[in-house]
């Protein structure tokens, strides 16, 4: 049985993944170390020493936890201080960087990184029945790049750029999947019927499982939208194009939910 590690194990996304995949994989989890631990346990004399100590603590925690795993899903994020409604925690970026470095060092075959639909501002035509949004923007038509929705989106965009950088440092058997997650809750159903952002538990876990089991000839880096097949009523098609190279197609639809 393949071994899968989830960071941010106490969050809603990890809860749903573990629930759905516990009978298929050996699923374990961890809570990512916090700077509070450094401030409590170490006498750092400067902010630079604090950051270096925190990075060392993270790398020790993550490399140890990642060792021998077949897949890692990085879901951990300080959403109390940084979320799509406001705030910024630059330490989220440091954790992302340590995850990449630890996964590469331990040769983890599959690394799933939880980005967000907020990495690109989707709101301008969200209430229109438009062609589904592709996961790869065409910067030839928008040379300055499509803006994110928030500083949270900026951090997630940084994650995606770093993915592209670290993809060139992977060993032959390693692959990275970045997933722009929509709305995932602890409940099975959407928070309201007809949500265009909903990602069901089954579709959330299904994409991860398809990535874990993908063939060797799958690309070593991909970005996909993590949303269900949400369409109906005034919307004849989903807002996001969930294309991926793993043969996965979302099966659930918030417009069909009670």
Across the range 175-186, mean pLDDT stands at 96
- Dihedral in degrees, nearest 10, Cα atoms 175, 176, 179, 185: 80
Edge-to-edge strand list for the sheet holding 71-74 = 26-30, 3-7, 71-74, 110-116, 175-181, 221-226
Whole-number pLDDT of residue 258: 58
User: pTM of the predicted model, to two decimals?
Assistant: 0.94
- Least reliable range by pLDDT among 41-50, 100-109, 127-136, 158-167: 41-50
For the cut 90, the answer to whether the pLDDT of residue 19 exceeds it is yes
Task: Check if the beta carbon of residue 61 is closer than 8 Å to that of residue 30.
Answer: yes
Confidence of residue 42 (pLDDT cuts 50, 70, 90): confident
Taking the C-alpha atoms of residue 199 and residue 141, their distance in angstroms, rounded to an integer, is 29
Whole-number pLDDT of residue 138: 67
Confidence of residue 136 (pLDDT cuts 50, 70, 90): confident
Whole-Å CA distances, 5 to 67, 92, 111, 237 = 10, 18, 10, 34
Q: What is the pLDDT of residues 81-122, one digit of tens each?
A: 999 999 999 999 999 999 999 999 999 999 999 999 999 999
Taking the C-alpha atoms of residue 130 and residue 136, their distance in angstroms, rounded to an integer, is 17
9 Cβ contact partners less than 8 Å away, ≥ 6 residues apart: 18, 29, 30, 31
Q: In terms of pLDDT, which residue wins out, 76 or 40?
A: 76
Structural domains counted in the chain: 1
Across the range 151-157, mean pLDDT stands at 95
| Domain encompassing residue 99 | 3-256
Whole-number pLDDT of residue 139: 66
CATH number of the domain that residue 13 is part of: 3.40.50.720
CB under 8 A, 24+ apart: contacts of 26-31:
26/1, 26/2, 28/3, 28/4, 29/5, 30/5, 30/6, 30/61, 30/65, 30/76, 31/7, 31/76
């Amino acid at each position: 049985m393949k071994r899968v590690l989830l960071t941010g194990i106490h969050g809603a996304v990890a809860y749903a993944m573990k629930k759905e995949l516990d009978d298929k994989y050996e699923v374990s989890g961890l809570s990512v170390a916090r700077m509070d631990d450094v401030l409590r346990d170490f006498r750092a004399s400067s902010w630079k020493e604090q950051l270096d100590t925190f990075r060392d603590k993270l790398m020790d925690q993550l490399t140890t936890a990642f060792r021998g795993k077949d897949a890692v899903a990085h879901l951990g994020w300080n959403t109390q201080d940084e979320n799509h409604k406001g705030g910024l925690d630059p330490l989220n970026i440091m954790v992302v960087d340590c995850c990449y470095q630890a996964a590469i060092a331990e040769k983890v075959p599959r690394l799933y990184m939880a980005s967000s639909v907020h990495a690109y501002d989707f709101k301008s035509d969200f209430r229109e029945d438009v062609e589904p949004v592709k996961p790869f923007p065409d910067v030839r038509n928008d040379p300055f790049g499509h803006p994110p929705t928030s500083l949270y989106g900026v951090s997630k965009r940084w994650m995606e750029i770093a993915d592209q950088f670290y993809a060139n440092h992977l060993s032959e058997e390693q692959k990275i999947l970045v997933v722009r997650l929509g709305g995932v809750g602890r409940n099975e159903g959407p928070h309201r019927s007809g949500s265009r952002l909903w990602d069901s538990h089954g579709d959330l876990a299904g994409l991860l499982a398809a990535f874990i089991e993908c063939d060797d000839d799958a690309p070593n880096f991909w970005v996909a939208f993590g949303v269900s097949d949400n369409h109906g009523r005034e919307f004849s098609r989903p807002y996001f194009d969930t294309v991926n190279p793993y043969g996965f197609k979302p099966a659930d639809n918030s417009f069909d939910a009670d």
